[in-house]
Chain A
Amino acid sequence: MKLWRVPLDAGHVKVTRGIVHVIEDRCKGCGYCIEYCPTHILGFSKHYNKKGYHPPQILNPDGCVHCRYCEIICPEFAIYSVEAPKPDTQPEE
């Protein structure tokens, strides 16, 4: 995530990481998750699901902060995130 200034506590606050899962065949391609992902890691995929929509794909899996907003904005119960296993060391920004 791009920040306009680095928070003073950025060095010791651990940002949660998440893994996004898409239940593709439930998706109707409204794009709400893509539009409202705060870290903009989602985009429309090129392929179709069985209903003929383009489900979202995860463009930048490492960017997920597990805010779960995609999960709660999705009208289709088609996307959710789970917390990623915590790495031993915080990756460098």
Chain B
Amino acid sequence: MESAKKGKTQSKQPPRHPLDDWLRTDRMPHIWCPGCGIGTAFSACLSAMAATGLPKENFVMVSGIGCSARGAGYANVDSYHTTHGRAIPFATGLKLANPDLNVVVFSGDGDLFAIGGNHFIHAARRNVDLTVVCVNNYNYGMTGGQVAATTPHLAKTTTTPRGNPENPFNIPLLAFAAGAAYVARWTMLHARDLMDSIEEALKKPGFSFIEVLSPCPINYGRRNKEKALDTLHIYQEQTIIKNGAHPAELEGRQDGKIVLGKFWDVAKPSCNELYEKTCRPDFGKDHAA
């Protein structure tokens, strides 16, 4: 009891979280449900942005629609909450119009890989200099838990009451095949690796993609007999880190384990760079003259 009291006296000073500068604190608490992992993924993203040491005003966060896409509304940087699936083309416009911006797309699996799938593959192909963080909670949480392009086969959702008859995307493979320069997957429990990975991606030119597995206890977990902590225990016990693993080998589980790690990291010229080189090689010289 005494230590409990001690704990209470400690919070007497006005509590100020280390990320409060990066948060719209006037909008806290956020809308995410108790036990939802988006907040942790979002926290890792903000920490990584801070850790880069790059000027805060250069960061822009763009989101689509969905639970994860509410992220943009809580980041205390210039932030754009756009339409469903269209965060990436919006971000592409921002980045091409002002290459000095460091553009982060923070959105969910439904937004980026179902309705926005086409934009994702094309941005990866063009190698647009974006950092795309995809919170994958296996379902459409905002609308109450419908099947997504990432829902595992046989999993129950409100629109697959008999279990999902379809197979999910292997999204790191999709990113890799489409031409992304950086591909990684973590869970929100691996928050430190996730943070480091996002930081690395932010500093890297070209299209970086990071998938974050994250619990949706209310809409997905409840229907699949997975409490929030159960999901975290899966992340703890049934994952294995294999940096450099080929994305084609990530489908489902490997030896019963979900494979995490940084799978792909290559240097290649970004969309902006290629445009300058190809479309106006003499522009700079001209301009100087």
Contact = CB atoms under 8 A, between A and B. Distances in A.
A61 B43 contact: no
Contacts, number: 96
A73 B192 CA distance: 9
B3 A32 contact: no
Main secondary structure of the interface of A (DSSP, over half): mixed
Contacts of A61: 3, 6-7, 10
A26 B40 contact: no
B43 to A, nearest CB: 6
A22 B11 contact: yes
A75 B7 contact: no
A31 B17 CA distance: 18
A74 B32 CA distance: 12
Contacts of B47: 72
A74 B6 CA distance: 22
Contacts of B6: 58, 61
Given A22-B15, A23-B15, A57-B8, A76 B39 contact: yes
A73 B3 contact: no
Contacts of A73: 40, 188-189, 191
Interface string B198-236: 000000000000000000000000000000110010000
Nearest to A60: B3
A77 B7 contact: no
B43 A77 contact: yes
A71 B192 CA distance: 11
Given A72-B43, A72-B192, A77-B39, A30 B228 contact: yes
B17 A23 contact: yes
Nearest to B37: A75
B35 interface: yes
7 contacts: A28-B33, A58-B7, A72-B40, A72-B43, A75-B188, A77-B43, A78-B17
Interface of A: 19-26, 28-32, 35-36, 45, 51, 53, 57-61, 69, 71-78, 80
